[in-house]
A and B are shown apart, each in its own frame.
Chain A
């Protein structure tokens, strides 16, 4: 994902005119994959655009309706609420994993016994099958028989309804999302830390800087590009979150945790309202693209300063 993850100096120098001929010779290697990418990735994009200006009945034909599907979106209260919930869920599901992920990266950057094993265990949540862990968390959230409420009451805290109440369902989902995706932030930032020069840190130590000052004024600015990349990736993934919400709450109770993706699923595969769902997909995609672009632009500005 990150452009700077591929070190530019690793690229072979361009060979001018000869380079151009050179490039053309390599196209046969790309064509087979290109055909498949076109069929399963590019074609669906085009077809979605086509569908978004049509009405489609189950088993029936397409009738052209112009921009009707798009114009319906701003008047659809359920969609607007889904947008609000998506942004709320995303803001929390980016903030917590990024903060914890940076802290974890700083920890794992230090040497300690069994570090390799600890790091492997730490990344297990992001590799495990999302449906499987979502089911286990659902059992843990159960208000009567779940282990979490037992733990809360045994330390004197009031029990919670977790994913079973409209008031707490989104923070509960954020908790699982944080548990699952903090490791990815950690890995990206850890990669950044590993590539840093050691001299400034030695200088800071000789000058007697405290650990916090070193972190605040040296570590964070130096790995800032990696933190931004992690933030962008996390934002895209949080906006697209589906499995976890679908399994833990199904968008409920009621529609209290229904994000754009969940409503999209309902519209397409429960109501079979394909044209409207296609228009929603296009708008959803634009929202994701805009937010990632804004984040990337922030990063460019940081670079220029």
Chain B
């Protein structure tokens, strides 16, 4: 073999090694989570770890559902995240269109400041407000607060998307006598569908993952999944198996969504750098 061939082979080997080094921590933590959730308590607590469950058991998952109100928390999470995402789309898609067309860049700056503000600074006033008007004991306060996360994400992604669309089609429709609403509804909106998908996925994921709002605002029966896993399951059960199983159940929808929609998620995050809370 010639010298340059050897060098190339060595280069490839080290490149492969570095990719492996980058990707393995990401996958290993999730595999360990899966492993913990499928083992009995003796195997989980032994100092020499049992890496591959033998035999794997589903008891931890059964225990999560039997000993906790896991279904209620799931329903709460679904109501809050779907509600906040749906409302944000309803409000944010037209707003993104309006801001992009009116070139109102100051509105975009406001969204930026919202991105910089720590989540707790919304919570203190909203917490007092909800106490005053007595809006406790339902999912409504959480759903409203989650708009703090979802509306800026949707508006931000949609501004970028509508700015990138060619305006000739709409202008042609306006010249032909369509109203602005018709131009939006029948021309811009169908063209913006990929952007709406990106906004919807990101808003949903960041709402689903949110913890800080729920920790403060949710009551015993209105907890969302992340709060329930932290509050109920981690304190009432010290055993690791059910805890890992519950953690896995909470994050599984997001992981599946990421695997299925990675192209949209990457596009949205690269353009916006958005993150909620």
The residues of A with any CB-CB pair to B shorter than 8 Å are: 1-2, 5-7, 10-12, 14, 22-30, 32-34, 36-37, 40-45, 47-48, 51, 56, 100, 103-104, 107, 110, 112, 116, 118-125, 127-133, 135-137, 139-140, 144-145, 147, 150, 179, 183-184, 187-188, 190-191, 229-230, 233, 236-237, 239-240, 242-243, 246-247, 261, 264-265, 268-269, 274, 277-278, 281, 284-285, 288-289, 292
Interchain Cβ contacts under 8 Å between A and B, 23 examples: A1-B274, A5-B160, A10-B163, A11-B163, A23-B101, A27-B102, A40-B148, A44-B124, A47-B125, A47-B128, A56-B128, A104-B22, A127-B258, A129-B209, A129-B226, A133-B33, A136-B247, A150-B48, A184-B269, A229-B273, A242-B277, A268-B124, A269-B127
When C-beta atoms are compared, the residue in chain A nearest to B166 turns out to be A12
Q: Are A268 and B123 in contact (CB under 8 A)?
A: yes
User: Size range of the interface on B?
Assistant: 35 or more
Q: Are B101 and A129 in contact (CB under 8 A)?
A: no
Q: In whole angstroms, how far apart are the Cα atoms of A23 and B106 in the complex?
A: 13
Q: Are B18 and A107 in contact (CB under 8 A)?
A: yes
Q: Are B148 and A41 in contact (CB under 8 A)?
A: yes
Q: Which of B53-61, B64-72, B107-115 faces chain A?
A: B107-115
List the A side residues contacting B234 at CB < 8 Å: 135
Q: Are B102 and A23 in contact (CB under 8 A)?
A: yes
| 181-208 of chain B: CB within 8 A of chain A | 184, 205, 208
Q: Are B92 and A40 in contact (CB under 8 A)?
A: no
Q: A25-B180, A34-B107, A129-B254 are in contact. List 15 more A-B contacts (CB 8 A).
A: A1-B272, A1-B274, A30-B95, A30-B99, A40-B145, A104-B22, A107-B19, A116-B262, A129-B211, A129-B250, A131-B230, A132-B248, A136-B244, A190-B270, A240-B277
List the A side residues contacting B103 at CB < 8 Å: 11, 14, 23
List the A side residues contacting B215 at CB < 8 Å: 246
List the B side residues contacting A131 at CB < 8 Å: 209, 211, 226-227, 229-230, 247, 250
List the A side residues contacting B151 at CB < 8 Å: 33, 36-37, 40-41
| Secondary structure of the B contact surface, majority rule | helix
Q: Are A136 and B29 in contact (CB under 8 A)?
A: yes
Q: In whole angstroms, how far apart are the Cα atoms of A33 and B88 in the complex?
A: 8
B175 at the A/B interface (Cβ < 8 Å)?
A: no
Q: In whole angstroms, how far apart are the Cα atoms of A277 and B9 in the complex?
A: 60
B80 at the A/B interface (Cβ < 8 Å)?
A: no
List the A side residues contacting B133 at CB < 8 Å: none
List the A side residues contacting B128 at CB < 8 Å: 47, 51, 56, 274
List the A side residues contacting B4 at CB < 8 Å: none
- Shortest Cβ distance from B47 into chain A, in angstroms? 6
Q: In whole angstroms, how far apart are the Cα atoms of A135 and B226 in the complex?
A: 11
Q: Are A1 and B254 in contact (CB under 8 A)?
A: no
When C-beta atoms are compared, the residue in chain A nearest to B164 turns out to be A10
The 8 Å CB contact of A32, one of B95, B112, B159, is B95
When C-beta atoms are compared, the residue in chain A nearest to B212 turns out to be A242
Instruction: Write out, one digit per residue, whether chain B residues 238-259 have a CB within 8 A of any chain A CB (1) or not (0).
Output: 0010011001101100110111
The residues of B with any CB-CB pair to A shorter than 8 Å are: 15-16, 18-19, 22-23, 25-27, 29-30, 32-33, 36, 44-49, 87, 91-92, 94-95, 97-99, 101-104, 107, 110, 112, 114-129, 144-145, 147-148, 151-152, 155, 159-160, 163-164, 167, 180, 184, 205, 208-209, 211-212, 215-216, 225-227, 229-230, 234, 240, 243-244, 247-248, 250-251, 254-255, 257-259, 262, 265-266, 269-275, 277
Q: In whole angstroms, how far apart are the Cα atoms of A187 and B262 in the complex?
A: 12
List the B side residues contacting A121 at CB < 8 Å: 23, 26-27
The 8 Å CB contact of A150, one of B49, B112, B240, is B49
Q: In whole angstroms, how far apart are the Cα atoms of A18 and B176 in the complex?
A: 17
List the B side residues contacting A51 at CB < 8 Å: 124-125, 128
The 8 Å CB contact of A122, one of B22, B98, B114, B254, is B22
Q: Quick one: given A11-B103, A107-B18, A237-B275, are A284 and B212 in contact (CB under 8 Å)?
A: no
Q: Are A285 and B121 in contact (CB under 8 A)?
A: yes
Q: In whole angstroms, how far apart are the Cα atoms of A195 and B24 in the complex?
A: 28
When C-beta atoms are compared, the residue in chain B nearest to A139 turns out to be B240
Q: Quick one: given A129-B250, A268-B123, are A187 and B269 in contact (CB under 8 Å)?
A: yes
When C-beta atoms are compared, the residue in chain A nearest to B167 turns out to be A12
Q: In whole angstroms, how far apart are the Cα atoms of A183 and B32 in the complex?
A: 20
List the B side residues contacting A27 at CB < 8 Å: 98, 102
Q: Are B124 and A48 in contact (CB under 8 A)?
A: yes
Q: Are A277 and B124 in contact (CB under 8 A)?
A: yes
Q: Are A133 and B29 in contact (CB under 8 A)?
A: yes
Q: Are A6 and B101 in contact (CB under 8 A)?
A: no
List the A side residues contacting B208 at CB < 8 Å: 129
Q: Are B124 and A285 in contact (CB under 8 A)?
A: no
When C-beta atoms are compared, the residue in chain B nearest to A47 turns out to be B125
- Shortest Cβ distance from B203 into chain A, in angstroms? 13
What 3 pairs between A and B have smallest CB-CB spacing?
Answer: A29-B98, A1-B273, A33-B95
Q: Are B120 and A26 in contact (CB under 8 A)?
A: no
List the A side residues contacting B104 at CB < 8 Å: 23, 30
When C-beta atoms are compared, the residue in chain A nearest to B18 turns out to be A107
Q: Are A6 and B163 in contact (CB under 8 A)?
A: yes
Q: Are A107 and B29 in contact (CB under 8 A)?
A: no
Q: Are A32 and B91 in contact (CB under 8 A)?
A: yes
List the B side residues contacting A37 at CB < 8 Å: 110, 114, 151-152
